[in-house]
Chains A and B, each alone.
Chain A
Amino acid sequence: MTFHKVIAAAVAVLLFATAALGAPDMLIRGAKVHTAATPGTLENTDVLVRDGKIAAVGAGLVPAAGTIIVEGRNRPLTPGFYTGLANLGAIEIWGVEDTVQAGIGFGAPAWDQQWRPEFDVTRAFNPRSLLIPVTRIEGLTWTVLAPESSDSIMSGQGAALTLDGRFDATLADSRTLFVNWNGASAQSGGSGAGLYMLFEQAIREARSKNASGRQLMQPAGREALAMYLRGGRVVFNVDRAADIRQLVMFAQRNGMRPVISGGAEAWLVADELARARVPVILNPLTNLPEGFNQLGARFDNATLLHRAGVRIAFSSGEVHNARKIRQLAGNAVAHGLPWEAALQAVTSSPAEIFGMGATRGSISVGQAADLVLWNADPLEVTSVAEQVWIEGRAIEMRSRQSELLDRYLKRSP
C-alpha cells in the first residue's frame, strides 16, 4: 500500500467518523514540523489535533484510543498557506464577465458619490468555486478576498476566508479596507496629489455629523470609513517609495492602521516602515521597472525589508494560479531571505497582519488545525502537498484538474 493509499484510507475513515461520531482526535506522528512560529522547525515531532484545533505539539505524544494516526515519516508539516490577496471565490473566469464579481464600478464621475467603502466583496464569495479545490490541494487553506473598484481608489472591504468549502467562510477579526493608490491619478483629477485631497475630503465627510451638498460617499459609506478611522486596518496598494512614506504618515495621522501592498520600492524606506511597524505585502518576483512607480524594483526587496525588521507577507495577485505563492517564497530564499522567514511570509505573517495571529498561521497549541503534509521542502517547486487538513478535517485531494488528468492520463498516446 502506498503512502497515498494509506492517506486515502485514513481520509475515508476520518470522513465517515466525522459524519457519524463527531471528529475524533488525529495524531500526525513523527513529522518534520515547520511551526512558522518561534520554535522554528522541529524534527520528528508529533502534532495532536482535537476538535479542529492543535491540542499538542511534541515528541512521543501518546494517542488516546480511537485516535486517527497519520505517519509523518519526517515529511514536512506546515501550517496551511494563504493565497495572497486574491479574488478567489469572486471570479471564475476573467474573460467571462458574468463570473467576475470582485469589484464595482458605477461609471460615476469623480465628484458624484463614487467612493463606496461600504462595499463588501465577501458577500460575493462562492465557496463552491471551481478554483477553490484547485487551490487548496496545493496546500493553500485560506485566502484574503480583496475587492476592486473601477471608479475610485476606494475599493471597499474584504476579509480573510477559509477555503474548506463552508458557506459562512469569513474568518473573525480579519475585516479590512482596501485602497488602490497605484496608477489611480486618473481618478483624482490627473495628479496623485489629488488622491490626498479626495481622501481628506472623505475623512471630513466621515467625521462630519451633518454632511450636505455634494459628497464622495453615501451615508453608509461615511459610517464604514469612520470605523476604519478608529484604528481599522487599511491596505494601501502602492509601490513608489515616496508615496509609501507619505501614505503611512497620512494614514497614521488619521487613525488608520496602514498595511502596504505592492511595495516594489519599499526597501528604500525600510527603516521608516520598521519604526512605524507597518507590514508590507509584496511579490518577490517583481524585479522589473514595470511602471514609473516601480523603477526601484529588485529581487531582494523582501530580504532587505526583513533585515530592517519589517513584517513581510507575499502575494502574487494571481487568482487561478494562487498556488504560485510557494514559488514566490522559494525565490525570496534564493535571493537571500532566510527560509523560516519565507515560510512565515505565507503563513503566520499574513495571519498576524489580518488580525488572526492567535487562531491561524502557525503550528502552535490552540491554533486551528490548518495543516499540510508535504512530500518534500514546501517552498520547492517540485514538491507537492500529500494531504491538506482544514480545521482538522482532511480535504479530499481532488479537483476538476485532477479529474481531467485522470481522464487523459488513461488514454494511451
Chain B
Amino acid sequence: MKWMLCLAAAVAGQAALSVGFAADPYPSTYQAMPSSPVLIRGATVLTGFGTRIDNGDVLIAQGRIEAVGRDLPAPANARVIDARGRWVTPGIIDVHSHLGVAASPSVKANNDSNEITNPSTPDVWAEHSIWPQDPGFQSALAGGVTTLQILPGSTNLIGGRSVVLKNVPALSTQAMKFPGAPYGVKMACGENPKAHYGGKGQSPMSRMGSVAGYRQAFLSAQEYRRQWQKYERELAQYRKKKTADSMPPQPPPRDLKNDTLMGVLDGEIRVHIHCYRADEMVTMLDLADEFGFKVAAFHHGVEAYKIADRLARRGVCGALWADWWGFKMEALDGIVENIALVDRPADSCAIVHSDSAEGIQRLNQEAAKAMSRGVRAGLAIPPERAIRWLTFNAAKALGLEDRIGTLEPGKMGDVVIWNRDPFSVYALADLVFIDGAVAFDRNGPHQPRSDFMLGQPFDGVAP
C-alpha cells in the first residue's frame, strides 16, 4: 500500500490529498509520431485565441508550434507547404464523443457506453470500454479532429469517468491517451436517467429523485474523503514520532465510486454534465456549491442561451449542438442561435460538440451554422472568434488550454490545413498534423484505416 501511496503522490504532484486516487493506474503510452519541421506559408491563419492573420505562416518544429506570423524564414530542413488560398486552424477538439465506446458498426456487441445497472456508477471508466479500431476515429480525423473526450453515456446520474484521447491510430486506448490530461466525470440530468430507472420502478423516477441521487453520492464521497484525510493525519503523526512498539494506522477501505467523486471534490476530476433545461442547469450549479466542486461544462444545454450570463459569470462552458432540438421534451426550446448567445457575454465559453460519429466529421460546418445565425441575429462573430468554439474553448473545458487549442509557440503541433474557409459546407481538411506529424493527408498516403475496414467493399476514408 505504501509504495502505491508514494507513487500516487508523485503522480498527483501538489494534489491536496496525497492519496491521489485520481492518479492513473492505466497510464498513457502515447508517443508522438515521427515528424520533421514544417513551415506552412501564405495561409489565412485563425489562431484560436481570437485573431486572424491573412497571408500568414505557421512553423511547426519538434512537434510543437514554433512560430506564427508573416514571412517566417524556413529552417534548412523544413518541409515548406504553399498554403496560399487555404486556411489554417488549430486541431479541432471535440469534448463530447462516444467513439470507441459506441463504435461502428453499432451492433449490440460494440455498445459499451452505459453501465445501466445502477444510477450511480462513478467507478466505471470510459477508457475500459474503448475499441481503438472504431473506424469513426479516422473519419473524425479526416474532419480535422485531433483531440477528443470520450464520455460514458447519459443513462446514469453519474455515468463514470471520461478520458481524453489524441486521435492517432493505436492498438490500445493507453496509446491514444492524452498524456497528463485531467480526468472528467460524466453526470446526467433530466429525462434519460428517470426514464430508464423510473420505468423499472426504481429511483430516480423523478427529477427530485435524480437530485437526491447526486446528493447521496456526494455525501458518501464527503465522508470517504474525511476518513482518508483523518488517516493521512494519523499516518503523518505516526511517521513523525514512530516508536518501536507503535502500530501504523490502518487505511480505510478503498471504494472505486468514492475514489472518483473524491477526485471531483479535490478539484482533480472535471465535471461534465449532460443537461438540457436552464432550470436544471441552475440546480446543478447549486449542487456544485453545496458540495464545493466546479462544473467544467454543461453538455447539450439546448436552453443554455437562457442563462448565458450566469454560465459566463460562473466560468462554466456550454458544449452545444448547432441545431439539434425537439427530440425530447427537454429539448423543445432549442434554437440555432444557442451557441452564439452563449458566446455573447464577456468571459463566456461556448463550445460546439458532436455527440455523434457523423457530426464529429464536420464540426466546422456546425460552427458555421451557429456563426451565421448569430451574425444574422446581429451579433459580431467573425471566423477568428467562432473558431474558438472548436479549439480554445474546448481545450479550456478539458483543462488543456495550456497545451492545445491555439496556435501559439510552445503548444502541441496540432494543426489543420483546410482547402478553403472552414466555415463552409464545401471545406475539407487537406492536412491534419498531430504533435507536428502528418496524421492525415487527403491527397497522400497518410489516411489511416482501422483494421475493421480492411477487405471491406470500400476501405478508404476520403474519396
A residues near B (Cβ < 8 Å) are 92-96, 130-131, 241, 265, 268, 285-292, 294-300, 303, 319-321, 323-324, 326-327, 330-331, 333-336, 379-384, 401, 404-405, 408-409, 413
Contacts and interface: CB of A to CB of B under 8 A. Distances in A.
Contacts of B457: 241, 265, 268, 295-296
Contact of A289 (B337, B425, B452): B452
A324 B424 CA distance: 14
A345 to B, nearest CB: 14
Interface string B5-37: 000000000000000000000000000000000
B326 A93 contact: yes
B427 interface: yes
B41 interface: no
B139 interface: yes
B323 A334 contact: no
Interface stretch (B60-68, B69-77, B283-291, B302-310): B302-310
Contacts of B191: 95
Q: Please provide the 8 A-B residue pairs with the shortest distance between their CB atoms, ordered closest to farther.
A: A330-B425, A296-B457, A320-B326, A95-B328, A413-B345, A382-B372, A300-B463, A413-B309
Contacts of A404: 333, 335
B105 interface: yes
B369 A321 contact: no
Contacts of B309: 413
B324 interface: yes
A355 B427 CA distance: 35
9 contacts: A94-B328, A288-B139, A290-B104, A299-B463, A321-B323, A327-B425, A334-B428, A382-B424, A384-B373
B426 A320 contact: no
B107 A291 contact: yes
B456 A295 contact: yes
A413 B328 CA distance: 27
B136 interface: yes
A295 B460 CA distance: 12
A381 B424 contact: yes
Contacts, number: 136
B290 to A, nearest CB: 26
B327 A93 contact: yes
A382 B368 contact: yes
B60 to A, nearest CB: 26
Given A289-B456, A327-B365, A382-B372, 13 more contacts: A285-B358, A288-B104, A288-B136, A292-B105, A295-B457, A297-B458, A298-B458, A299-B462, A331-B425, A380-B426, A401-B334, A404-B333, A409-B377
> Which interface residue of A93, A96, A289 has the most chain B CB atoms within 10 A?
A289
Contacts of A383: 372
Contacts of A382: 368-369, 371-372, 423-424
A287 B139 contact: yes
Given A95-B191, A330-B426, A381-B425, A324 B323 contact: yes
B397 interface: no
Contacts of B423: 382
A100 to B, nearest CB: 11
A298 B332 CA distance: 33
From DSSP, what is the main secondary structure of chain A's interface residues?
loop
B32 to A, nearest CB: 27
A409 B337 contact: yes
> Which interface residue of B106, B327, B329, B462 has the most chain A CB atoms within 10 A?
B327
Interface in B198-222: none
A289 B345 contact: no
A350 B462 CA distance: 27
Nearest to B311: A413
Contact of A408 (B306, B330, B424, B456): B306
Contacts of B462: 299
Contacts of A384: 372-373, 376
Interface in B273-309: 305-306, 308-309
Contact of A334 (B308, B330, B377, B426): B426
A300 B326 CA distance: 30
Nearest to A335: B463
B341 interface: yes
B344 interface: yes
B254 to A, nearest CB: 39
Interface in B436-457: 452-453, 456-457
A381 to B, nearest CB: 5
B323 A323 contact: yes
B276 to A, nearest CB: 11
B378 interface: yes
B425 A379 contact: yes
Contacts of A333: 425-426
Contacts of A326: 425
B139 to A, nearest CB: 6
B261 interface: no
Contacts of B369: 327, 381-382
Nearest to B423: A382
B83 interface: no
Interface in B406-432: 423-428
Contacts of A330: 425-426
Nearest to B346: A413
